[in-house]
Amino acid sequence: AHAAAIEYYDPDPELYRKYCESYCDLVPTDYICTDIYPLNWRNGLRYTYSEYIESINVIASVARERNKEFWCCIQTFGWIPSKRTPNAAEFRWQCYSLLSFGARGILCWTYARPNPERTSLLDYQGNRMPAWFDARTVFQEIRNISDVFCRYRNLGAFTHNASEKVPYLRMTNEYRDFETIREISCPDPLLIGCFARDDDEKDLHGTAFTLVNMTELEAAQSTLVKLRLNAKKVTSWRKGIPEVQEPDKDGFYVFPLETGEGVFVTCE
C-alpha cells in the first residue's frame, strides 16, 4: 500500500504514513480504510506482496494513535493474470493478518466480470463461484469470534522468525512489551498480534493475542507453536470454535496451525 502517484513528486519513504496521518487529522470519520492485495502469481508459483505486513502496520498504527478504527478490503479475486483468486486458507490468512493489527472492519469486493476467466465471488450472471463459499466459511468463523475480539484493544504486533525468505513479514516498530507470552518455540515464521481488555471492562488484566502461520502460502506448510504463558485460563478460538487449553507436561500451550491459519487466544 502506498499513496498512489504522489511518490512521483515526493520520494519521502515516510510518505504513506504521513498521508494516513493527514487523512485522520483532516477527515472527521471514526475509521480509516484501505485496500491491500497481497496474493500474486509469478512463473506459475504463488508469491506474496513483499510490503504486505508493513503496509498493514503503517495504517493500523496511525489509526491506533488517533483512536480510530482500522478497516481494510481484502483480495477476493484475480482481476489480472498476476493476481489470483484466494482459496479458503488464503482468505483466512488475510483476515488473521488484519486482525493481528486490530482491524474492526474486513470488506471484500464482489464485482462480477464479463470475462468468465476473471470471475469474482460472483460471475456475470450473479451465480456464486467457489470463492464465494470459501469466503463465507472464513467470514462465519470471524463472526463467531467478533463479540469476544471487540472486547480487546490492539496494542501492536510483533514477528517471530522473520527473515529474507519471508520479506512480506518485515515490519517496523514491533510491539515487544507483551508480557503474557514468556517463551515461543516454533521453527517457522509467525505474526503475533497483542491485545488488552478495553478500558471500560472491569477486568483490566485480561489479555489476548493472535497467532498466524506466516510461511509462504506456496509451501502449503503447517506448523506447531508452543508457548509458555503468564495466564491461569487460556481459551483458543480456532476456526471460530472456543476451547479451553491446558499446558503440556513441560508447561507449554500447544497451537497447531495449518497453512495460512490464524487463531485468536484469550488469557485470564
> Is 230 domain-assigned?
yes
Instruction: Please state the pTM of the whole predicted model.
Output: 0.92
- 119 and 160 fall within a common domain: no
pLDDT at 203 exceeding the cut of 60 = no
Instruction: Tell me the average pLDDT across 7-19.
Output: 72
| Residue 165 DSSP one-character state | T
pLDDT at 5 > cutoff 70: no
> pLDDT tier at 112 (50, 70, 90 boundaries)?
low
Whether residue 248 has pLDDT greater than 50:
yes
State the cell numbers at 76: 477476493
Q: 22 and 134: one domain?
A: yes
Boundary-marking domain end, from 115, 149, 183: 149
Instruction: Indicate the angle between helix axes 88-99 and 52-65, nearest 10 degrees.
Output: 40
**Residues 125-180: tens digit of each pLDDT:** 888 989 999 999 999 999 999 999 999 999 999 999 999 999 999 999 999 999 99
Q: What domain range includes position 101?
A: 6-149
* 134 and 55 within one domain: yes
Please indicate, yes or no, whether residues 36 and 156 belong to a single structural domain of this protein.
Answer: no
Burial zone of 204 (CB within 10 Å; 0-12 exposed, 13-18 middle, 19+ buried): exposed
The per-residue pLDDT for range 81-93, each reduced to its tens digit, is: 899 999 999 999 9
Question: 7 falls in which pLDDT band (50, 70, 90)?
Answer: low
**Cα–Cα distances in Å, from 106 out to 16, 47, 79, 95, 153?**
21, 22, 19, 7, 16
Based on the domain organization, do 25 and 114 belong to the same domain?
yes
Q: Is residue 37 part of a domain?
A: yes
- Of the listed ranges 10-14, 125-129, 186-190, 193-197, the one predicted with least confidence: 10-14
Within this chain, do residues 12 and 134 fall inside the same structural domain, yes or no?
yes
If asked whether residues 228 and 257 sit together in one domain, one would say: yes
Do 165 and 121 reside in the same domain of the chain?
A: no
Residue 144 sits in the same domain as residue 210: no
The set of cell numbers assigned to 62 is: 496511525
Structure-derived torsion over alpha carbons of residues 9, 11, 14, 18, reported in degrees to the nearest 10:
-10
pLDDT band for 97, please (50, 70, 90 cuts). Answer: very high
Please tell me whether residues 83 and 207 are part of one structural domain.
no
> Is 261 within 8 Å of 96 (Cβ atoms)?
yes
* Residues 129 and 198 reside in one and the same domain: no
Mean pLDDT of 215-241: 97
Any domain includes 1: no
Task: Tell me: do 77 and 190 sit in the same domain.
Answer: no
At residue 45, the pLDDT reads 94
Local structure of residue 62 (DSSP, 8 states) = H
| CATH code for the domain of 177 | 2.60.40
Q: What average pLDDT does range 173-190 have in this prediction? A: 97
Instruction: Give the dihedral sign, CA 254/258/259/261.
Output: negative
- The structural domain count of the chain equals 2
Task: Please identify, among 128, 149, 170, the residue that sits at the C-terminal boundary of a domain.
Answer: 149
Q: What pLDDT does residue 14 have? A: 82
Chosen domain end from 149, 181, 200: 149
> Is residue 24 domain-resident?
yes
Provide the pLDDT confidence category of residue 8 given band limits of 50, 70 and 90: low
The answer to the question of residue 224 being in a domain is yes
